[in-house]
Amino acid sequence: MPIIKKVSGLDYEDFDVAFSPERIDPVNSNWKLKNTPKIVSGSNRRSLNRAKAFYGKFIDVIIECESIEEAETAKLLENSFRFVNISFINEISILCHKLGIDVNHVIKAASTKPYGFMPFYPGVGVGGHCIPVDPLYLSNTARRVGAPTRFIDLANQVNHEMPGYFVELAESVLGNLTSKKILVIGVSYKPNISDVRESPVVALISQLKQKGAVVSWHDDLVKELNGEKSVKLSSNFDLAILATPHEYLDLEMLGKVQILDTRGTT
C-alpha cells in the first residue's frame, strides 16, 4: 500500500486493497474451495465489500476480518497450529517407538474423545508451501517486536531433526549404511499428490547418501526429482523406507525387503 500511494500520488482512501488468505487442502474430498469458509479483509470498508462481492459469487461462507493484519495473522495462526501439532506428534511417535507402542493405535484411541482433541499423524517432517514456511514469518515478526514464539521455534527444530531420526533407525536395522541399497518410497510432501515443495523426504535422501547408502526412490506421481528418476518397486534392496504412502502403492512387490514405516507403525 505505501508503494502504491507513493507511485500513484493517491491517498489511501482513493484506492482499494483487499486480502484473503488461501485455504486449500489438496486431495481433500470433503472440503473444497466452494464450501471452505473464506476469510476476507480490506484496507477500508469499500475494499472489503468489493472483495466480499467477488468471493461471494463462488464461495458459500464469507468471514469478515476488521483489518488486513488480522486476516494475515489468522492464516499464520492456522498453519502454526498445524506445524506445532505435527511436530509434537512426531515426538510422541519417537517415544512410542522406544516403548514398543504403535502410535497410530494411540492416536485412534485418543480420537474417540468427542471434545478437546484433534488427531495429527507422524511422518518424516512437515512439507508443503505453507505449513513449514508461514510459522517462520510469524516467528520472525515476533522477534522483531520482542515477543516469544518458543513453541514455533521448537517445532521448527523438531521438524528439521526428523529425517536424521529415520536415518538413525535405518542404521539400527542395517548397521553401517555404507554401500547398502535403500529404497525411499514416496517423495512428495503429502500422499496422493505430486507436490515436492519443502518435502522433508529430500533431506532424508540426502542424509542417507551422506552416510554412504546407495539410495533410490520410487514415486510414480513425482517421476523426476533433482535430476533423478523414480525406480520400480522390487526386492533388490536391503531396506525400504516408506516416507509418503500413496494409495496406489503395492508394497507386495518388495518381496521380503524390510520396510521402515515413517508413519509410526514399527
130 assigned to active site: yes
- Note the CATH architecture for domain 163-261: 3-Layer(aba) Sandwich (3.40)
Grid cell at residue 206: 540426502
Looking at 51, 71, 130, 174, which residue is catalytic? 130
User: Residue 264: what pLDDT?
Assistant: 79
Mean pLDDT, residues 213-218 taken together: 98
Nearest to 80 by CA among 169, 141, 123, 19: 141
Grid cell at residue 16: 482499494
3-state SS, residue 17 = coil
**Phi-psi category of residue 186: left, alpha or beta, with phi > 0 → left and psi -120 to 50 → alpha:** left
Q: What residues form DSSP beta bridges with 62?
A: 38
Say which CATH topology domain 70-153 has: N-(1-d-carboxylethyl)-l-norvaline Dehydrogenase; domain 2 (1.10.1040)
Confidence of residue 128 (pLDDT cuts 50, 70, 90): confident
Distance, in Å, from the CA atom of 49 to the CA atom of 60, rounded to the nearest integer, reads 16
Which pLDDT tens digit goes with each residue over 151-178? 999 999 999 999 999 999 999 999 899 9
CB 86 within 8 A of CB 65: no
Grid cell at residue 159: 521438524
Confidence of residue 199 (pLDDT cuts 50, 70, 90): very high
Q: Where in the chain is the domain with CATH 1.10.1040.10?
A: 70-153
Q: Where in the chain is the domain with CATH 3.40.50.720?
A: 163-261
* pTM higher than the cut 0.85: yes
User: Residue 26: what pLDDT?
Assistant: 85
132-139 long-range contacts, Cβ below 8 Å, gap at least 24?
132/83, 132/156, 132/159, 132/198, 133/198, 134/75, 134/76, 134/79, 134/80, 134/83, 135/76, 135/79, 135/80, 135/83, 135/84, 137/76, 138/73, 138/76, 138/77, 138/80
Which residue has 497450529 as its cell numbers?
81
